[in-house]
């Protein structure tokens, strides 16, 4: 195995800092080249800067964020901001050892919904002409990244200008991990447009795609960028290229054996580069995004980022409750629409679409609620949890696919909208997809509890698993009458009745897991872990059995580092 710094977001980990600025190790075009460990070590100080961005402003402003701040002891902060949710953390300052202004942005917080929604808002859109004067209209960027960047752009600009003036320098280095890398890349385009003559360099770790081909070409021409990727990291292959997103050049890819390769060109498909290494989302790894942390038994994926598995459990519990409440509200609206007269021409088309959308929403919410409940039961076994989250993704995919398919089928044909009772006539593809997704979803919900039953030793958890299996059976029986009539395009009334029956049962199913959990809580039966995992005290490296005591997290270290990566840790 090569140097331990090579394990990623490792963002490199070594304990030493190097006073020299990073070399330009990237290849814009031409052949592949291997980067030596000595050359790669030059990124170490910037790795710690990227890690420090996960800390709140009161820590970075005073440069008291623990090991990652200590790694660059002479850094002088100028400004810091963000709340870690609505606005990502950021900071600006000057490092006299590196003779550069440093701008750093926080990456995605998987525990924060707003942060995840920023990543999910991936519609390509124009840049703001006020922030990016003279930028080509051909350039499109990720909508969520653009809007998040705009929240802090002026504050970052003012801090950079002040720091440059205070230290008589024109050199600026922008760093960031994950979402922080995406925001940093937008800064790397934004700042030179606002500060003529600035000497700017961009260093990112595990950065997602930010813009289209025109944006990638602009970055290649105007920005000195080094984009470090690790093995089969999932994030750098998102959003997909089929959505017109493209990486700029400048990739350094850490391979499975620790070798670092400079990848020529944009989004290189070679297996020695990120896009070719993680060919698709099914072959990619979330663990590699956080530095291969699954290689350490005391860290279970990014669960260690939250310090305790109970926080994950509570988050899933809240999400399941929201799903149940949302499903109940949708059911009320659905039943109300069923009884609205279809002869009201102003409402006929909207009524048709709403009935179908709400039907799919209630149906798949029920299945998601059941899966969330299973995740809470097996939360202590990371590998199983990861597989269950893939099932969540599959269910959401079915939900979205079926909804989009309705519009895809109906919108090209306008005649049906002028009928007395507006009703689109589907091709056989629609009921076929409905049946395939229904059968697949129900089969998964029946098989997963059976498969997990033998792996769960705790009696109470087994009881809950049996209850979930029972309500999954109810969902299956509820879908049978609908499947029996779904191919009959003319049987409007039976179709509606069968749909109402299925959604009503789905509503009950959706709320049962939440109700069961509430009953267990009221009885004071806390959920025991299936097998107590070792959790590390990030301050003393003491190993505990089971959940981490609250006092363990009461320290000033926002990021802890291991020999295989950096792991953000919430501060109590």
Question: pLDDT tens digits, residue range 353-378?
Answer: 777 777 777 777 777 777 777 776 66
As a whole number, the mean pLDDT across the chain is 71
Q: Which two tokens stand for residue 350?
A: 């909207």
154 contact partners, CB below 8 Å, separation of at least 6 = none
Task: Please report the pLDDT score of residue 144 as a whole number.
Answer: 85
Does the structure show a pLDDT above 50 at 466?
Answer: yes
Residue matched to tokens 């999400």: 319
Q: How far apart are CA 87 and CA 34, in angstroms?
A: 38
Q: Which of 431, 511, 434 is nearest to 471 (CA)?
A: 511
Q: Domains of the chain: which residue ranges?
A: 4-306, 310-522
Residue 166 scores a pLDDT above 70: yes
State the pLDDT at residue 258.
83
Contact 64, 247 (CB under 8 A): no
- In the predicted structure, residue 151 carries a pLDDT above the cut 90: yes
Cα–Cα distances in Å, from 45 out to 40, 168, 169, 258, 537?
Answer: 11, 22, 19, 20, 25
Cα gap 145→208, rounded to integer Å: 10
Looking at CATH, the fold of the domain delimited by 4-306 is given as Rossmann fold (3.40.50)
Helix, strand, or coil (residue 276) = helix
Closest CA to 484 of 422, 429, 421, 438: 438
Give the helix ranges, DSSP H, for 378-412: 382-410
Q: pLDDT for 380-401, tens place per residue?
A: 444 566 677 788 888 888 888 8
Q: What one-character DSSP code corresponds to residue 295?
A: G
- Quick one: which of 85, 526, 110 has its CA closest to 307? 110
Region of 307 on the Ramachandran plot (φ > 0 left; ψ -120 to 50 alpha; else beta) = left
pLDDT band at 416 (very low <50, low <70, confident <90, very high): confident
For the purposes of burial, counting CB atoms within 10 Å of the CB of 406, is it exposed (0-12), middle (13-18) or buried (19 or more)? middle
* Whole-number pLDDT of residue 290: 64
Residue-wise pLDDT for 249-286, tens only, equals 999 998 888 889 999 999 898 989 998 888 887 777 77
Task: Give the span between the Cα atoms of 475 and 565, in whole angstroms.
Answer: 43
Mean pLDDT over residues 492-507, rounded? 54
Q: Comparing 366 with 64, which gets the higher pLDDT?
A: 64
Q: Give SS3 for 93.
A: strand
Mean pLDDT calculated for residue range 73-87:
91
pLDDT surpasses 80 at 212: yes
**pLDDT tops 80 at residue 345:** no
Q: Which run of H or of E encompasses 183?
A: helix 179-194
Distance CA 253, CA 288 (A): 12
Given the DSSP bridges, would you call strands 565-568 and 559-562 parallel, antiparallel or unpaired? antiparallel
pLDDT tens digits, one per residue of 287-340? 777 653 333 333 223 223 333 334 444 455 555 555 656 666 666 675 666 665
Calpha distance 86→113 (Å, rounded): 9
The model's confidence at residue 347, banded by pLDDT at 50, 70 and 90, is low
pLDDT of 384 reads 60
**Range with the lowest mean pLDDT among 15-29, 39-53, 265-279, 421-435?**
15-29
Highest mean pLDDT among 213-222, 388-397, 464-473: 213-222
Q: What is the pLDDT of residue 146?
A: 92
Any idea which of 104-108, 113-117, 137-141, 458-462 has the lowest mean pLDDT? 113-117
CA angle 97, 98, 100 (to 5 degrees): 125
Higher-scoring residue by pLDDT: 186, 259: 186
Pairwise pLDDT comparison (317 vs 157), residue with the higher score: 157
């Amino acid at each position: 195995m090569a140097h331990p710094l090579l394990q990623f977001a490792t963002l490199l980990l070594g304990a030493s800092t190097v006073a020299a600025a990073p070399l330009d190790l990237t290849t814009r075009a031409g052949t592949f080249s291997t980067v030596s460990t000595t050359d790669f070590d030059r990124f170490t100080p910037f790795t710690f800067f990227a890690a420090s961005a996960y800390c709140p402003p009161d820590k970075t402003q005073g440069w008291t964020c623990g090991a990652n701040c200590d790694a660059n002891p002479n850094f002088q902060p100028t400004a810091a901001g963000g709340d870690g949710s609505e606005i990502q953390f950021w900071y600006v300052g000057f490092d006299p050892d590196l003779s550069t202004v440093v701008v750093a942005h926080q990456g995605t917080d998987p525990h924060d919904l707003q942060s995840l929604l920023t990543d999910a808002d991936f519609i390509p859109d124009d840049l703001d002409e006020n922030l990016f004067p003279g930028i080509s209209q051909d350039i499109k960027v990720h909508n969520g990244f653009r809007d998040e960047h705009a929240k802090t752009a002026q504050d970052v600009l003012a801090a950079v200008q002040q720091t440059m003036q205070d230290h008589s320098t024109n050199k600026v280095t922008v760093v960031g991990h994950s979402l922080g890398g995406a925001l940093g890349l937008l800064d790397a385009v934004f700042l030179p447009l606002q500060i003529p003559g600035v000497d700017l360099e961009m260093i990112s770790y595990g950065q997602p795609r930010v813009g289209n081909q025109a944006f990638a070409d602009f970055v290649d021409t105007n920005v000195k960028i080094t984009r470090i990727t690790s093995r089969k990291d999932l994030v750098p292959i998102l959003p997909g290229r089929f959505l017109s997103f493209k990486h700029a050049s400048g990739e350094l890819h850490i391979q499975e054996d620790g070798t670092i390769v400079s990848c020529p060109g944009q989004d290189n498909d070679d297996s020695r580069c990120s896009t070719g290494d993680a060919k698709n989302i099914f072959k990619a790894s979330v663990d590699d995004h956080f530095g291969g942390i699954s290689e350490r038994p005391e860290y279970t994926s990014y669960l260690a980022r939250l310090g305790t598995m109970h926080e994950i459990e509570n988050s899933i519990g809240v999400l399941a409750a929201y799903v149940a409440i949302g499903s109940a509200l949708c059911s009320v609206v659905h039943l109300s629409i069923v009884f609205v007269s279809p002869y009201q021409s102003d409402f006929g088309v909207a009524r048709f679409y709403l009935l179908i959308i709400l039907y799919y929403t209630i149906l798949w919410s029920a299945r998601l609620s059941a899966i969330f409940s299973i995740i809470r039961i097996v939360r202590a076994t990371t590998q199983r949890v990861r597989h269950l989250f893939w099932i969540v993704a599959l269910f959401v995919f079915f939900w979205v696919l079926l909804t989009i398919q309705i519009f895809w089928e109906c919108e090209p044909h306008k005649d049906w909208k002028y009928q007395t009772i507006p009703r689109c006539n589907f091709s056989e593809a629609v009921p076929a997809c409905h049946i395939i997704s229904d059968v697949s979803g129900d089969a998964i919900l029946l098989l997963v509890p059976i498969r997990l039953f033998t792996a769960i030793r705790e009696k109470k958890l087994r009881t809950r698993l049996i209850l979930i299996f029972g309500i999954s059976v109810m969902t299956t029986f509820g879908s049978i009458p609908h499947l029996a009539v779904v191919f009959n395009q003319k049987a409007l009334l039976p179709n509606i009745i069968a749909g109402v029956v299925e959604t009503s049962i789905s509503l009950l199913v959706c709320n049962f897991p939440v109700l069961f959990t509430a009953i267990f809580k009221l009885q004071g039966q806390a959920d025991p872990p299936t097998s107590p995992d070792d959790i590390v005290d990030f301050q003393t490296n003491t190993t505990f059995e089971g959940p981490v005591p609250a006092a363990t997290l009461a320290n000033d270290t926002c990021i802890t580092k291991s020999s295989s990566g950096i792991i953000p840790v919430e501060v109590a």
